[in-house]
Structure 1
Amino acid sequence: MVNVISFVVILSTVYLTVIADPDCSKAEEALDNCGLHLDLIDDQDIPIPNNDEEMKDHCSKMFTNLDCIRDFNKKCLKPFPKTLFGMFGHDLRKELKHRCDKPEGRAEFLKHAECLRHKEKLGPIVQCKNNFIGQLEWITSSVKKEDETVAACCAFHQAHDCFATKIEEVCHPITGSGTKEYIDQVLESTVTEAIDYACGKYKTLDHCHEFLDKSIWDKLFEIGKDATAAGVNVHHRSSITAVVDLLNQFDNGQS
């Protein structure tokens, strides 16, 4: 639940280029699975742990999928995105170590992850993710190069607000108070540094009205509310590969 938001940090790296390497196409396919596994909410392959013993398997799989992302970073990204990914990966590893190695971290995660076992209730949270992916795909196909940075940062801020609202609505009846705050704390420890570094002055959703053309913002906001209703068919499963696709398009001069 917490990692799906963490991955959106890389949306801001719109000046990056993906190295043209045949192996990176295969690595990107693997990346889609790794991102899906790490976000937890929309993954049918990795069960949510029920107790401290099951946390061992959960943590092993989380670190394996984090290593997958680090491998893609090393093989397929140029220096600037590599720096940003490295910053994010380092902070996420610290968060996973707290979740997995500290008794209080395991207990806290198990308490709030109880919400994730109710898959039939997670639709609104999954929709936040899909709307965000829809925004990235629309930016890839429809936004001019000079507007991509602010558009991507605005998409992140809207997605963040969506997740916070829907997690509170869905999880509060199941896990009680504190789940939204727990996720915000995790975000603070994993993505704030990278977002501040990449998005600069585009720090809140309100700034989007100031720095983004109204026609772009109106459509972007519409997609962020409901991608399907806005006429966007989402193709990616993971936000991280939607970002990679955006960067590939940018590198080819097509965005």
Structure 2
Amino acid sequence: MKSFVIILIFVIVHINLCLSASGKTCNMTVDEADKCAKKLMFMGDRDNILPADDQQMQTYCDYMKDGIRCIRHYARSCLPPFPQQVFGMFAYDAKNVLRSQCKQPKDRADFVKHVACFLPKPAMESLHLCSDRYIVRLDVIKEFDSDWRIPGICCGFHIFQDCMRNNLQSLCEPKTGGETVDYFMNHINSMTDDVMDFTCGQYDSLEKCEKHMKSDDWSKLKVELSDEQVVAERAKQKYFSPVPSLVSIIANYEM
């Protein structure tokens, strides 16, 4: 059933991209796309919105919707076929996740309840660092041989997921309970599972990465920089979000 859903999403995205490709020219810069993607980086943006009530929740929802619309436009009008498919699929799933978060009063209240774990804002620093580490790893992946870059992206993301789960457990279990850990991991996975299934093949877990990745590349991915080193590396980077790096890695890839 899951594979049927992935195929269906792929077909919908592919049709939309084919329709949008006719007569459209790119009118966005990479810098503008990076700013759009920043809006979607709830984990990674230290200026993010942490809604404490329903009014602030509406502000959060509007902010996220704008980011999704913007990334979808960038994918449709500016990217070559494979990145269009990947980012189009991500935007489709992100829109569905946001719709479920923002539409019903109970879902909105649930989000506000679980976000309380992240208050005050500096409490989220360990989660932001998980995102920073993934973006720094993308620079390492750029240096891999071309055949190993997609596996590198997938395995790097599994390391990111593991980092998020471990730090959510440390942060949230004492404050709002294990339910919050599952809530936000489901939030992350629901936005990315279809893209990961579509692109990653056998590299679908840390265990599979350990087994199948090129050993030298896997060793490089597993290097854990100190927090200070991560912050210093991020300060050197031109872009805030992972989107420019991801596009540059997969731009010439064909399924």
Q: TM-score, normalised by structure 2?
A: 0.79
**Which residue identity lines up with residue 60 of structure 1 in the other structure?**
D
Rate the CA distance shift 1:44–1:219 in 2: closer, same or farther, 3 A.
closer
Structure 2 CA distance for aligned equivalents of residues 105 and 68 of structure 1? 24
Distance 2:207 2:153 in 1: 14
The unaligned stretches of length 5 or more in structure 2 are 1-20
Q: Does the residue aligned with 2:173 lie in a helix, a strand or coil?
A: helix
Counterpart-to-counterpart distance in 2, 1:113 and 1:231:
24
Contact 2:127 2:164 in 1 (8 A): yes
- Which amino acid in 1 is paired with 2:246? V
CA contact (8 A) 1:99 1:105 kept: yes
1:34 corresponds in structure 2 to: 36
Check the 8 A contact 2:136/2:230 in 1, yes or no.
Answer: no
One-letter code aligned to 1:221: K
Paired position in structure 2 for 1:80: 82
Change (3 A) 1:187 1:230: closer
Deviations 1:10-34 (A, max 9, x none): xxxxxxxxx9x8744x2x2122222
CA contact (8 A) 2:36 2:71 kept: yes
Kept after mapping to 2: 8 A contact 1:112/1:179: yes
* Structure 1 equivalent of residue 163 of structure 2: 162
Going from structure 1 to structure 2, the CA distance change for 1:228 and 1:150 (only over 3 Å counts) comes to farther
Equivalent position amino acid for 2:245 in 1: A
Q: Cα distance, 1:177 vs. partner?
A: 2.6
The equivalent residue for 2:116 is 114
RMSD of Structure 2 on Structure 1 (CA): 2.5
Letter in 2 for 1:87: M
Give the equivalent residue in structure 1 for 2:13: none
Identity of aligned residues (%): 27
Distance 1:144 1:36 in 2: 29
Residue in structure 2 matched with residue 213 of structure 1 by the alignment: 214
Q: Who is 1:9 aligned against? A: none
Q: Kindly indicate whether the alpha-carbon contact (under 8 Å) linking 2:38 and 2:241 is maintained by their aligned counterparts in 1.
A: yes
- 1:98-123 deviation line (CA, Å, top 9, x unaligned): 11111121011101112233222222
Match of 1:49 in 2: 51
Residue in 1 that maps onto 2:70: 68
Q: Secondary structure at the match of 1:122?
A: helix
Alignment length (residue pairs): 227
Which residues in structure 2 correspond to 1:101-180 (within 5 Å)? 101-140=103-142, 142-180=143-181
How many angstroms does 1:83 deviate by?
A: 2.2
* Cα distance, 1:231–1:54 mapped onto 2, change above 3 Å: closer
Q: Is the 8 A contact 1:88 1:191 kept in 2?
A: yes
CA–CA distance in 2 between the matches of 1:52 and 1:230? 35
- 1:191 aligns with 192
CA spacing shift, 1:169–1:190, aligned 2, 3 Å: same
Is the alpha carbon distance of 1:51 and 1:68 closer, same or farther for their aligned partners in structure 2, counting shifts above 3 Å?
same
CA distance in 1, matches of 2:206, 2:227: 18
Flag as ranges the 4+ runs of structure 1 deviating above 6 A.
none
Contact 1:154 1:205 in 2 (8 A): yes
Amino acid at match of 1:114: A
Unaligned ranges ≥5, structure 1:
1-18
CA contact (8 A) 2:150 2:250 kept: no
Tell me the SS of whatever aligns to 1:191: helix
Which piece of structure 1 moves more, 116-125 or 55-64? 116-125
Give the 3 Å change call, closer, same or farther, for CA 173–212 of structure 1 in structure 2: same
